[in-house]
């Protein structure tokens, strides 16, 4: 038995392949529809997936990826204007602040709580110490590339970690997508 040959590792690779297959099919469908936003803002979500917001023509769009290992599909929702509220996140560190696995790290930022068409709420966090983010142009958009990426990559791996020092910059970018 090889060093990295276990049931869990084979399952992880199968989940990555399935997720990349879904992403390619979704990107090809969007390309056929002519969906080509100039810029897109991504945020990692709590379920292991990610979400993105952008403007396509006169519509604001919300894209939600499936959570890792689930049977869900990608979702694209178009709105005249996103309905949302902003919730501040300010979690103080506990214990040793997460050092050596003791206590809890600090978390600072905001969550955009978007009201979806069906009335449910979706949280898009920009919280330092918790998740990652990325703003990209159409040419560099990892979600909309119609070719398969090398190996079984996950778009979530392209997101930059959001640390306590970069929260302000991320929120300044997010303000363009979530106007007051």
Task: Say whether pLDDT at 144 is over 90.
Answer: yes
Task: Say whether pLDDT at 115 is over 60.
Answer: yes
What is the rounded distance in angstroms from the CA atom of residue 52 to the CA atom of residue 47?
Answer: 14
User: E strands, the chain, where?
Assistant: 39-44, 50-56, 59-64, 75-79, 83-91, 107-115, 121-128, 132-137, 160-161
Residue 2: which pLDDT band, with cuts at 50, 70 and 90? Answer: low
Q: What is the pLDDT of residue 99?
A: 58
Looking at the DSSP bridge assignments, the partners of residue 46 are none
Task: Say whether pLDDT at 150 is over 80.
Answer: no
Token duo for residue 178: 């979530």
Q: What is the mean pLDDT of the chain?
A: 89
Q: What is the pLDDT of residue 157?
A: 85
- What residue ranges do the domains of the chain occupy? 7-79+131-177
**72-81, 112-121, 137-146, 147-156: lowest mean pLDDT where?**
147-156
85 contact partners, CB below 8 Å, separation of at least 6:
112, 113
DSSP, res 70:
-
pTM score above 0.85: yes
Task: Say whether pLDDT at 5 is over 90.
Answer: no
Q: What is the pLDDT of residue 6?
A: 84
Among 113, 128, 129, 119, CA closest to 51 = 113
């Amino acid at each position: 038995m090889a060093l990295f040959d276990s049931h869990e590792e084979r399952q992880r690779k199968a989940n990555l392949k399935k997720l990349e297959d879904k992403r390619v099919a979704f990107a090809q469908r969007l390309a056929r529809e002519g969906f080509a936003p100039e810029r897109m803002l991504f945020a990692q979500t709590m379920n292991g997936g990610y979400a993105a917001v952008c403007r396509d023509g006169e519509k604001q769009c919300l894209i939600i990826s499936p959570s890792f290992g689930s049977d869900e599909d990608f979702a694209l929702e178009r709105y005249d204007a996103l309905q949302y509220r902003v919730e501040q996140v300010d979690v103080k560190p506990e214990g040793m602040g997460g050092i050596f696995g003791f206590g809890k790290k600090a978390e600072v930022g905001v969550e955009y709580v978007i009201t979806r068409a069906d009335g449910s709420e979706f949280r898009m966090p920009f919280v330092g110490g918790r998740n990652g983010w990325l703003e990209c142009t159409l040419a560099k958009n990892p979600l909309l590339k119609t070719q398969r990426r090398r190996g079984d990559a996950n778009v979530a791996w392209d997101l930059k970690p959001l640390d306590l020092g970069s929260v302000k910059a991320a929120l300044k970018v997010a303000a363009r997508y979530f106007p007051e």
